[in-house]
């Protein structure tokens, strides 16, 4: 009888303490949450980087256009002066 009670006690203890299935599910949920958080962070970083790159490219394009317009005006003035010099 003592052996039976000891075996039942050990089996009951092992069954009660064997909740590894629950911890695996919890670990998977935790890992999934961490991956989702990392993806969200990466997406936000990429979006902000793209906005910064877009604004930088636009600023460079605007500066280049202004420089080209200024150079064009200078060339036109030089051409006008050359025409006047040829007339005289």
Domain encompassing residue 61 = 2-87
pLDDT at residue 25 above 80?
Answer: no
Q: What is the pLDDT of residue 24?
A: 59
Q: Average pLDDT of 50-66?
A: 93
More confident residue, 88 or 69: 69
Specify the pTM. Answer: 0.48
According to the 3-state scheme, what is the secondary structure of the chain?
A: CHHHHHHHHHHHHHHHHCCHHHHHHHHHHHHHHHHHHHHHHHHHHHHHHHHHHHHHHHHHHHHHHHHHHHHHHHHHHHHHHHHHHHHC
Q: How many domains does the chain have?
A: 1
Neighbours of 14 (CB within 10 A): 9
- Least confident residue range of 40-44, 70-74, 83-87: 83-87
Only one residue has tokens 């005289």, namely 88
């Amino acid at each position: 009888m003592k052996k039976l009670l000891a075996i039942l006690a050990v089996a009951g203890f092992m069954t009660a303490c064997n909740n590894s299935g629950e911890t695996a599910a919890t670990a998977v949920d935790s890992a999934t949450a961490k991956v989702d958080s990392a993806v969200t962070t990466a997406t936000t970083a990429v979006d902000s980087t793209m906005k910064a790159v877009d604004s930088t490219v636009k600023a460079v394009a605007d500066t280049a256009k202004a420089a080209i317009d200024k150079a064009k005006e200078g060339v036109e003035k030089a051409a006008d002066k050359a025409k006047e010099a040829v007339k005289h």
